[in-house]
Amino acid sequence: MLWDLDGTLADSRAYHWRAWRETMAADGVVVTEAQFGASFGQRNDRILSAWLGPDAAPERVHRLGEAKERYFRELVEREGLVPLPGAAEWARRLDREGWRQAIASSAPRLNVEVMRRALGLAECLRALAGAEDVRAGKPDPEVFFVAAGRVGVPPARCIVVEDAAAGIEAARRAGMRSIGVGAPLLAAADVAVGSLADLPPDAFDRLVGSR
């Protein structure tokens, strides 16, 4: 079982917005919520190039990106995270049933570790792969191959749970089954639901069995 994190297990969008807004304001840059929304989910260097211009000094881009992520982690640790509907219940049930589970995220590793701890799921999701573990982001399948290797499961036996079209495409390229959560665009997934709470009790067993 390979879980995407943000938007699948938890929704931390508000924390990201606050962290970007305050970090940029401290540097004298006003960022609107519309600008943030248009960039959400992109890499920090791409976001900052759009906001600061292509001639922004690499040192400034790095400094602001690091400051934003530190503030984001502080918010998560201080204010906590609530799992999205059905997420914690499924992770704990699969753990009890012996499934090997990992987080496969495009987020920095420190962010993933903080969020996993805040969600209370560290004992279920024992392995993780983050931004530092790959050279290319989704829809490249690399992060899923890394995560699968860390739980010792061949790709053909893995199921990916994702909330983004790029993640579903990455699962397809990896030869993995997928469950899409939340968005109509995820119809390309093997199973698509509005919420993890809507999954039938045998959803994971059936996907593995279909191999």
CATH class, range 13-79 = mainly alpha
Q: Domain locations in the chain? A: 2-10+83-209, 13-79
Mean pLDDT across 189-207: 94
Instruction: Give the residue-averaged pLDDT of 107-131.
Output: 95
For 109-113, what is the mean pLDDT? 95
Question: Nearest 5°: phi and psi at 54?
Answer: -65, -15
144-165 average pLDDT score: 95
Percentage of the residues of the chain whose pLDDT score is greater than 70: 99
The residue whose two tokens read 């997420």 is 87
Render pLDDT for 124-153 as a digit per residue (tens, 0 to 9). 999 999 989 998 888 999 999 999 999 999
DSSP secondary structure letters along 59-84: HHHHHHHHHHHHHHHHHHHHH---BP
**In the chain, % of residues over pLDDT 90:** 82
Tell me the per-residue pLDDT of 44-92, one tens digit each, with 9 for 90 and over: 888 999 999 989 999 999 999 999 999 999 999 999 999 999 999 999 9
The CATH number for 2-10+83-209, chosen from 3.40.50.2300, 3.20.20.70, 3.90.1150.10, 3.40.50.1000, is 3.40.50.1000
The model's confidence at residue 20, banded by pLDDT at 50, 70 and 90, is: very high
DSSP 97: T
CA-closest candidate to residue 145, choices 180, 110, 115, 170: 170
Spatial distance between the Cα atoms of 25 and 176, rounded to a whole number of angstroms: 42
Three-state DSSP at 24 gives helix
Task: Tell me: pLDDT of 10 over 80.
Answer: yes
pLDDT at 211 over 60: no
pTM: 0.88
Q: Which residues contact 151 (CB under 8 A, 6 or more apart)?
A: 100, 101, 102, 126, 127
